[in-house]
Homo-oligomer: A and B are copies of this chain.
Amino acid sequence: MTVATQADELKAVLAALGGPRVLVPTMGALHDGHLALIRHAKTLAGAHGTVVVSIFVNPIQFDRAADLAAYPRPLEADLAACRGAGVAVVFAPTAQAMYFPDRSVTVSESQLSRNLCGAARPGHFDGVCTVVLKLFLLCGCQMAVFGDKDFQQLAVIRRMVRDLDVPVAIIAHPTVREADGLAMSSRNVRLNPAQRADAPRLRQALLAAQADLQGGIRPPEVVLATARQAIEASALARVDYLALADAESLETVTRVERPALLAAAVFYGEVRLIDHVRIEP
């Protein structure tokens, strides 16, 4: 496994490798969810292709300095995990290697990124679009694999690829969960034991609301209020948003007449977790 920390180094390594190139962009702190993405990427790359995992805690997508500072960065463990998963190339640049001090170019998305996490995290998706496009162009990949947990990120990146004619196929992978249903996230390690014990309520509340909405007995606003109460029944949790949104436009809706998402972001102390369920009309 080769670890490149500079763009030139990455390009030199990749120039010698053939076949389809599949990128798994990560911010490190790799968990079983990431490993599932990597396994999927290996299948896509086939016997002759190359899986590239990028590990970069992208400063320009963080809206809160404390969140950026606290984001876990266990690089040695991450590299061991990549090695164990049979990854060919890891790209782990520093912020200095990725951004010039006088950088002035941004890729932004103005529709799908407005609501939900976009409303709560100003500038977040501009940072995501900008870094993901840079990683695509640096790797020259034909495919890239993203987790469905970050559904809004996935929608925004697909839109970026469509609108800018980026020659990369975007492959989604289902959310991987802990035994108790909590969506795997690099942020989970920052939960204290009480918060960690409480966090599965988020998934439970979403599943209950999903059943309720698909049953169609109670109106959505009542179902959403119940879900919010179920999550905030714990004093440890604070709902950042809980919203019913059109699955395609991500605009909030009051009725489910087309495929929709029930999505939530919840703070446990300083740690913000997200999850969602799909709602069929």
Chain A positions within 8 Å of B, measured between CB atoms, are: 7, 99-100, 102-112, 129-130, 133-134, 137-138, 140, 159-160, 162-167
Contact = CB atoms under 8 A, between A and B. Distances in A.
A52 to B, nearest CB: 14
A137 B108 contact: no
Given A100-B162, A162-B100, A137 B106 contact: no
Contacts of A133: 164
Q: Which of A137, A140, A159 has the most CB of B within 10 A?
A: A137
A108 B110 CA distance: 12
B111 A104 contact: yes
B140 A105 contact: no
26 contacts: A7-B165, A99-B163, A100-B162, A100-B163, A102-B111, A103-B163, A104-B109, A104-B110, A104-B111, A104-B112, A104-B159, A104-B163, A105-B107, A105-B108, A105-B109, A105-B110, A105-B159, A105-B163, A106-B107, A108-B108, A133-B164, A134-B164, A137-B166, A137-B167, A138-B165, A140-B167
